[in-house]
Amino acid sequence: MSRRGNTALVAKRSTDRPVDTTEIRALCESAGLDVVGERTQVRPRDPTYDFGEGAVAEMTERVEREDVDVLVVDDELDPGRAFHLEEAVSADVIDRTRLVLDIFAERAETKRARLEVRLAELKYELPRAEAKARRGESSGRRGFKSGGEEPQAAQMRADYKQRIKHLRDELDQLDDADGDLRDARRESGFDLVALAGYTNAGKSTLLRRLADDLSVEENAVQHDDLDDTAASRDRLFETLDTTTRRATVDDHRVLLTDTVGFVDDLPHWLVSSFRTTLAAAREADAVLLVIDATDDPEAIRAKVETSLAELDDRDGTLVPVLNKRDEAGALDSKRGVVADLAGDPVVTSATEGAGVDALRDRLGDALPERERVELTVPNSDAGNAFVSWCHDHGTVREIEYGDAISFAFEGRPEVVAKAEGRTADFGE
């Protein structure tokens, strides 16, 4: 993070009590900032500073007295308020959105994630660059605009918009490639399942419980064709890049994808910048919406409502999961809140494994129905190779060997259709 230092003072204004700074402090920790204090205020938004003048004066004094490097404001500041506040406190001022973007930038490892982060950064920077240009345009003598600055500002805006368009074009190409990959995986017999929800709800630990090749206690086992990690450390945005692992649910061969976690109070334009990442959830056959049971009922309600809005255009069935039951109280009331909004949740503890079998059963019911067909092929090398292909792409049952090989095959409809076509080739 390009800051002058790493000591931070947290500031949060709200119209309601209590003013909770838990999440913004956690975000600061994830960004490598050392929070040395906080200033909260209950009042409407000030048009100049966001905060009242008294609070600004106190923050200015604390910044100087405690040698604070960064004032972190738990709000989205418009360019004007950010400028005035930074001028007043004489320290770097970053708002919640900028802090999240800094964390995203540090965690992005894949090309897709880096492109999405840069797109979000450009969207964030554009209005601020425009505001800075407007301030510069009024700096000519006697208050008149300097002759060359209007064209410079126009060129700056055009440059930003061109860079944004270029990034969107690159992401569109990745969208197409990801769609092709999802189609290929379905044609290989896999059902696609995504884990979605707020950051730190336990999605990564739950993935490790469900995956065939990972344990909660050990680090990942590598597959050549899939991501080689599925970290479950208690850190915000540990999984900015999606992680996909194999799993078996009933007789379904499943690919589980852990998607980037939602976080409170992010503007829609920022969330939309990560559309290729979120597509893993929107286009899955089933979505496990993981909810933190340690939150209070009102926080759960707000988070579920936000999650449902982001997943409104999903293709698959939603399965709500109320996780961390080992750490939570008042489970009945919390379960009722989730049930009212998203259907009756499966209550689990990913760390202890409790409720995971019930989740597998529920997920199995949510996955697409499989078709069944009776097949017969010659008992030959080609016929045995085809049976092996069926084992790899679905479920083979009631197999009988004689002059021919007869068996029942169950799988996704498109796989069953392909199997029937290959069987027909043996008769030609």
What distance, in Å, lies between the first and last C-alpha atoms of the chain?
A: 65
93 is in an annotated binding site: no
Q: Is-cis flag, bond preceding 18, omega within 30?
A: yes
| Residue 229, marked binder | no
Q: How far is CA 427 from CA 372, 376, 404, 423, in A?
A: 21, 10, 12, 7
**Binding site annotation covers 379?**
no
Cβ neighbours for 91, distance < 8 A, ≥ 6 positions apart: 63, 68, 69, 70, 71
Residue 243 is assigned to a ligand binding site: no
* CA angle, residues 243, 247, 251, in degrees to nearest 5: 150
Residue count (the chain):
428
Give the C-alpha separation, 113 to 241, whole Å: 6
Tell whether 355 is in a known binding site.
Answer: no
* 203 annotated ligand-binding residue: yes
Is 273 part of any known ligand binding site? no
E strands of 53-91, at which residues? Answer: 70-73
83 is an annotated ligand-binding site residue: no
Tell whether 351 is in a known binding site: yes
User: Is 49 annotated in some ligand binding site?
Assistant: no
Q: Any residues with CB less than 8 A from the CB of 161 and at least 6 apart, and which?
A: 126
- The verdict on whether residue 349 carries a ligand-binding annotation is yes
Cβ(232)–Cβ(99) under 8 Å? Answer: no
Amino acid at 377: V
Q: Is 240 annotated as a binding residue?
A: yes
Say if residues 109 and 43 touch (Cβ distance below 8 Å): no
199 among annotated binding-site residues:
yes
- Rounded to 10 degrees, what is the CA torsion of 409, 315, 264, 297? -70
Beta strands in 275-314 (DSSP E): 286-292
Tell me if 202 is assigned to a ligand binding site. Answer: yes
For 290: left if phi > 0, alpha if psi spans -120 to 50, otherwise beta; the answer is: beta
Give the whole-angstrom CA distance, residue 184 versus residue 411. 15
The answer to whether 204 is a known ligand-binding residue is yes
**238 annotated among ligand-binding-site residues:** yes
Kindly give the pairing relationship between strand 34-42 and strand 7-14: parallel
Token code pair at residue 241: 């890049």
Report the binding-site residues for GTP: 197-204, 237-241, 258-261, 323-326, 349-351
Report the binding-site residues for Mg(2+): 204, 239
Report the binding-site residues: 197-204, 237-241, 258-261, 323-326, 349-351
